[in-house]
A and B are shown apart, each in its own frame.
Chain A
Amino acid sequence: YELIQPPSVSVSPGQTASITCSGHKLGDKYACWYQQKPGQSPVLIIYQDNKRPSGIPERFSGSNSGNTATLTISGTQAMDEADYFCQAWDSSVVFGGGTKLTVL
């Protein structure tokens, strides 16, 4: 099973960034999203498609339908510049290849 993410996404500060994650019938599974900044460990930002752990800002949201899960960052800030990884379960844990978000 494979999860496909765009290698890079660019967004202007204050705008909305969308990062997609595609996989066969992904909408039938739960998707998670992780944020990883340089030199740091991954941090869970979305689980079970659209739930935010405590401490994660409301500007992060998720959706999952059909073959695509989407991470949306509203009012993107410079501090959101990072790598983002999606994750799902299909007989084993699968991670997407990651998307580098640039805020410029």
Chain B
Amino acid sequence: EVQVVESGGGLVQPGTSLRLSCAASGFTFDDYAMHWVRQAPGKGLEWVSGISWNGDTIGYADSVKGRFTISRDTAKKSLYMQMNSLRPEDTALYYCAKAYGATVASITFDYWGQGTLVTVSS
């Protein structure tokens, strides 16, 4: 059974950092691109970042470029998001999503986790 499970969310102050993790199982992790998508309370879906199967291609939304860094560890079958200089507008439920294909442009997200909540507030 394919599963992606996020962790690492929490309440942090503006300007601080947080690292999200996503543990994958049930599929060959290094065959597929992976993505982070967030959803602010009561709002729609916003793509945050994606990484290709081998980590060679990475994309970021303009809203997080220069502050967030996506990475993956094949041995640990895990996806990560290092979030620096956090702002109140980064408050959201962060989902990890498996892509149907290997590239960042593979937009079909066929499996989603339950999300991890990040709250940025003083």
Contact = CB atoms under 8 A, between A and B. Distances in A.
Q: Do A and B bind each other?
A: yes
Interface in A16-64: 30, 32, 34, 36, 41-44, 47-48, 53
Interface of B: 35, 37, 44-47, 50, 59, 61, 95, 100, 105, 107-110, 112-115
Contacts of A44: 108-110
Task: Name B's interface SS.
Answer: strand
A89 B95 contact: no
B108 A95 contact: no
Contact of A41 (B47, B105, B107, B115): B115
Q: How large is the interface on A (under 10, 10 to 19, 20 to 34, 35 or more residues)?
A: 20 to 34
Contacts of B44: 83, 85, 95-98
A88 interface: yes
